[in-house]
Chain A
Amino acid sequence: MLKKLLHRPQAVVGMLMMLTVLTVMAAAPCFAPNDPNKIDILHKLAAPCEQYPLGTDEMGRCILSRLIFAARVSMSISLPAIGAIAAISVLLATFCAYTGGIADRIFVILSNIFMALPPFLVAMTLVGLFESKAFSIIISIVIAMWVWNAQVVRTYVLREKNKPYIVTCRMSGCSELRIILRHIIPNIFPHLLVLYSTGLSGVIIMISGYAFLGLGLEAGAAEWGAMLVGANKLIFSHPELIAYPGLCILFAAAGFNLFGEALRDICDPGED
């Protein structure tokens, strides 16, 4: 699969963008020229200079450092959120779809109920539930989004379990658990990779959306959505303050999306 990926410009670009975001996230203190929260009252809204490569915001904080640390904040919320969504949706949907019968019927009813609730509304209701803002955001995203992913996983499993090779696996002495773990999951894994890599970009946008609505992290936190809100009132005098975090969101989301789309093209049976 890696070979196929490297032959696709879209996948290579997506991978590079993804790796950039992840590297910046992992090594934020090394890349950031200043403390992202340090206020320099004498250099409010300063133009780019040697000390502040992208200038400062209305409180004199280094914009570049804040953008770099914001990647860490975004990823530290979106990665656990997508991880939890993946774990719940794969476990639950695989079990219910493979077992069928009453378990699957209950799953369908439950998921229909959850799908009737708009994800953003669920998130807005739950976001203030816990003391830790980051944890609240993760929980609200997971509750709002798991069902959409679980439905897709269910479809993959249903399609896979009806393929003739599953009969052959039974004839080879496989238990039901082995069929799921050694045959169904590995066969749907590329599709899951696509689902969750594109899902991650959605979560990144969702986190920024929360901040934009004032439901995000604490005021003043270095986060792309929060930076957008902060720069809102300066849109005419300093439009770059809105453009920078906006571009960062676009870059991160586009990276994961491009990679996911390329993966989907490769996984398409027509490709073989």
Chain B
Amino acid sequence: MLTAENVTKKYGSFTAVDDVSVSLGDGVVTVIVGESGSGKSTLARMLSYIESPDSGRVMLGETDMTSCSGSKRRSLRKNVQLVMQDAASSLDPHQTAFQLLEEPLKLLIKLDKPHRVSRIGELVEAVQFPRERLKNKVSQLSGGQQKRLCIARALAAAPDHIIFDESFSGLDVTLRRQILTMLKGLQKQLGLSFLIITHDLDTAMFMADRIYVMRCGRIIETLDRPQSFIDFKEDYSKELVKAAEYKRQLLLNSLSRGQQQSAGKENMKESL
């Protein structure tokens, strides 16, 4: 269990996260939604211990991460992994895909070379990353492959918790669906706990066992096992639902316009 207990983070006079408590249960998918600047990513960075809270504490099981030494914290990294938004910039451009996957296996779970090679084979299969691309550097991979590589890297050390910080934004709809379906399968199969940070309610509804709604650095609503958008009770959450529905309507309109245009072209061809 990974928990944040009353964590607060300030940048100068601006309070990014204000006295927030969340818990990521084992084998559970938790989603945090909220608009940009609501403190979601800061919370994710504190939970993955990239940043330390100004007050409050982050607990991994019974261990208080806030009071751990650097080396102890490094050894605990294998339990919590972070997948960032921009796959291309979150991978070392100078290394090959193989080297990127090898590093956590070597440093976090201290596997020897033959075991590392076989584990990398398993990982690329799990995330459907083409094996022949392992020799390529990040810039030679497509966006989807980079994303899959990030997920494989996070899975490498067999963590209990993986945090996805806006990891699915910027992907086209088909690719996002593919990756989310793959992740859902992996989560069930391996019993992982996911924390997904997103502003996309569709992603949230598709993945979540629990949804936290964040606004101005605070959790304003918590939903367990949400079934539909009508489960949201807070006014702000309803605003988010409205925005999501509006986005969906725009997409439907553009799709129907496209269909009408192609039908019109077909008619013209026939009349000619």
> Are A172 and B107 closer than 8 Å at their CB atoms?
yes
* Chain B residues closer than 8 Å to A173, beta-carbon distance: 74-75, 77-78, 103-104, 107-108, 157
How many chain A residues sit at the interface, stated as a range, is: 10 to 19
Distance of A173 Cα from B93 Cα, bound (Å): 18
Closest approach, in angstroms, between the C-beta of B165 and any C-beta of chain A?
A: 10
Q: Report which of A172, A187, A272 forms a contact with B139, defined as CB distance below 8 A.
A: A272
> Are B81 and A171 closer than 8 Å at their CB atoms?
yes
Q: Report which of B48, B75, B78, B91 forms a contact with A165, defined as CB distance below 8 A.
A: B91
> Are B82 and A187 closer than 8 Å at their CB atoms?
no
* Chain B residues closer than 8 Å to A187, beta-carbon distance: 92-94
Distance of A6 Cα from B138 Cα, bound (Å): 23
* CB nearest to A169 among chain B residues: B92
> Are B82 and A171 closer than 8 Å at their CB atoms?
yes
- Number of A-B residue pairs with CB-CB distance less than 8 Å in the complex they form: 59
Distance of A33 Cα from B104 Cα, bound (Å): 60
Closest approach, in angstroms, between the C-beta of B246 and any C-beta of chain A?
A: 31
> Are A174 and B86 closer than 8 Å at their CB atoms?
no
Distance of A169 Cα from B150 Cα, bound (Å): 12
Distance of A164 Cα from B93 Cα, bound (Å): 11
Q: Taking the complex as formed, is B253 at the interface, i.e. its CB lies under 8 A from any CB of chain A?
A: no
CB-defined interface of B55-88 with A at 8 Å, one 1/0 digit per residue? Answer: 0000000000000000000110110011010100
Q: Report which of A163, A171, A175, A178 forms a contact with B89, defined as CB distance below 8 A.
A: A163
> Are B107 and A168 closer than 8 Å at their CB atoms?
no
Q: Taking the complex as formed, is B147 at the interface, i.e. its CB lies under 8 A from any CB of chain A?
A: no
* CB nearest to A186 among chain B residues: B94
Q: Taking the complex as formed, is A170 at the interface, i.e. its CB lies under 8 A from any CB of chain B?
A: yes
Q: Taking the complex as formed, is A183 at the interface, i.e. its CB lies under 8 A from any CB of chain B?
A: yes
Closest approach, in angstroms, between the C-beta of A95 and any C-beta of chain B?
A: 17
* CB nearest to B99 among chain A residues: A182
Q: Taking the complex as formed, is B90 at the interface, i.e. its CB lies under 8 A from any CB of chain A?
A: yes
> Are B90 and A167 closer than 8 Å at their CB atoms?
yes
* CB nearest to A176 among chain B residues: B70
* Chain B residues closer than 8 Å to A165, beta-carbon distance: 89-93
Closest approach, in angstroms, between the C-beta of A213 and any C-beta of chain B?
A: 43
A-B contact pairs, 25 of them (CB 8 A): A164-B84, A164-B89, A164-B90, A165-B90, A167-B84, A167-B90, A168-B82, A168-B84, A168-B92, A168-B150, A169-B92, A171-B77, A171-B154, A172-B77, A172-B104, A172-B107, A172-B153, A173-B75, A173-B77, A173-B104, A173-B107, A173-B157, A183-B94, A187-B93, A187-B94
Q: Which residues of chain B have a CB within 8 Å of any CB of chain A? A: 48, 50, 74-75, 77-78, 81-82, 84, 86, 89-94, 103-104, 107-108, 139, 150, 153-154, 156-157
